[in-house]
Structure 1
Amino acid sequence: MPTPPGVDALLELFAELTGVMFCAKDADGRYTEVNDAFVRRTRERTRAAVLGRRARDLFVPALAERYEEQDAAVLASGRPLRHELELIRRGNGVAGWYVTTKLPVHDSEAGDTVVGVVSVSEDLRAPEDSDPSLPALARAVELVASRPDRPPRVEEMALAAGCSTSVLERRMRRVFGLAPTQFVLRTRIDHARALLTGTATPLAEIAAACGFHDQPAFTRQFARLAGETPGQYRRRAR
């Protein structure tokens, strides 16, 4: 089947991106296209070494399982998965926050059957200091940072920022690339990472300090986002 017009140019464009990871998979979960930014987060060095392989071949089990669950949901429903928060290691080995969106690929010649998934993960860099929304949002950010053990509700964040919850949502997404609830979760996990690497605080106490009901809940959420348990993260960091 001939390549649809514009696809080659689009792939060439994705290849130039450095802060966005791109990949495409077929219905069997095999990578059919990736850009260099994606290759750098694997253990491989070339696109050729990634193409044709599955997530389980390239990533630790916790991450691979999560990616395959996401892909299966998109393939089965035919609906996009948008704005998933993830903690991903960049090419230099330092972990950073990304937001991932996955879209189904349809084959119109086969009755609009879903035949694959395309995915982009955007690196959430620091916001621009010049953004006019930042001063007001700073009050909400300070509220979140001051209470990692008691995460504020969106309504509380909006009150601190002096706006409605809907306006807060729009401003947070524009400045930070995240919904307010995602921003709160990121802050709590970042606090946990600091405690894991900079202190000898027991995991159960870190869980409580970061607003989790108990250590198992903390471990599940941390592993879902980072692909490793808090204990594994601490050992590797040391």
Structure 2
Amino acid sequence: MGRMHKDTDSMRHAIGAQIADPFFAEGLFDALPDVVFFVKDVGGRYVVVNQTLVQRCGQRHKSALIGRTPAEVFAHPFGQTYLAQDMAVLAGDADIEDQLELHLYPNRDPGWCLTRKTALRDAQGRIIGLTGISRDLAMADKKNPAYRKVAAAVNVIHEQYGQPLQLPELARIANMSVAQIERYFLRIFHLTPRQMIIQTRVDAASRMLNGDASVADIAQACGYGDHSAFTRQFKATTGLTPSQYRQVAGRKGEV
């Protein structure tokens, strides 16, 4: 086993030393319209971006992003939030793995994605930048044999998101064990049950924020007995507090 690992490392190092352009993946990611790809330096400035990110930022050319931070590219306060997230990764706090996020595009239409960011290190282990992707949430795999059973639990989430939802109860509804329902949720919806509950609640809250209901009432209606817990979850998912989202989403049509 150790010999195999050593041989694999040797092969990686050998081909890595021969690659003329370390950013060869940029062209591959340009061909993926549902994936945002980027590389940033230690200051959080874009070094490499794909065309999807350029379009999502309402720009035409990559040069509009290169050398700039998210705070200089995205509208306030989104850019500041993304930059703070980057700086935490660059400080070595922790990589980000499949964080569920709700983004607002230039026309203010919302879109769900899963974001990953990881620090880039040199041969001595020093952090020299970061790279990341943000994948649009994929459509459900309705051909999976377990889809109908899991869909019963999903219907409960959609209909009762304002109530306490426990994983063992969702598993019982789907006639599965907790381990099974978690596994099939990932296979079919590309989300954990907890992520789907969050998505459903934040979706509902974002719609309600277009109305006149108070943030406290919206929190209660979306299953959060604690106003502050709702605000923390909403900001972690959207990058904005509910009040900020209400203000930004209301400016539909502005770029």
TM range (shorter): 0.7 to 0.9
The farther-off stretch of 176-185 and 142-151 is 142-151
Determine the structure 1 residue equivalent to 2:9.
Answer: none
Matched with 1:158 is 171
1:187 is the counterpart of 2:204: no
How does the TM-score come out when normalised to structure 1?
A: 0.86
Structure 2 portions without partners, runs of 5+? 1-16
Tell me the secondary structure at the aligned position of residue 7 of structure 1. coil
- For 1:174, which of 162, 181, 187 is the aligned residue? 187
Counterpart residue number, 1:222: 234
Q: Would you say 1:141 and 2:159 are equivalent positions? A: no
Partner of 1:202: 214
Kindly provide the amino acid, as one letter, of the partner of residue 170 in structure 1: R
Q: Number of residue pairs matched? A: 234
Calculate percent identity across the aligned residue pairs. 32
Structure 1 residue matching 2:24: 3-state secondary structure: helix
The counterpart of 1:34, out of the listed 36, 43, 49, is 49
Q: Deviations over 1:69-100 (max 9, x none)?
A: 33233223275310111111347642110000
SS at match of 1:128: coil
What do the CA deviations read for 1:110-139 (whole angstroms, capped 9, x no partner)? Answer: x12111110100001331322223211111
Query: Amino acid of the residue matched to residue 47 of structure 1?
Result: K
Deviation at 1:29, TM superposition (A): 0.6
Structure 1 residue 190 displacement after superposition: 1.1
Question: How far off is 1:158 after superposition?
Answer: 1.7
CA 1:65–1:207 in 2, change beyond 3 Å: closer, same or farther?
same
Contact residue 96 and residue 116 of structure 2 kept, 8 A? yes
Q: RMSD in angstroms over aligned alpha carbons?
A: 2.5
1:164 and 1:88, CA in 2 relative to 1: closer, same or farther beyond 3 A? same
1:221 aligns to what SS in structure 2? helix
Cα distance, 1:202–1:74 mapped onto 2, change above 3 Å: closer
Structure 1 position 172, deviation (Å): 1.4
Alignment of 1:28-107 (within 5 A): 28-77=43-92, 79-90=94-105, 93-107=108-122
TM-superposed deviation, 1:101: 0.6
Which residue identity lines up with residue 134 of structure 2 in the other structure?
S
State the secondary structure of the residue aligned to 1:166.
Answer: helix
AA of the residue aligned to 2:46: Y
2:224 pairs with one of 191, 207, 212: 212
Are the counterparts in 1 of residues 58 and 106 from structure 2 also a CA contact under 8 Å? no
SS in 2 for 1:33: strand
**How far did residue 21 of structure 1 move?**
0.4
| Gap change, CA 1:7 and 1:231, over 3 Å in 2 | same
Q: Tell me how far 1:221 sits from its aligned partner.
A: 3.0
Aligned residue for 2:195, secondary structure, equals helix
The 1:38/1:144 distance shift into structure 2, 3 A limit, reads: same
Unaligned runs of 5+ in 1: none
Change (3 A) 1:234 1:81: closer
Match of 1:9 in 2: 24
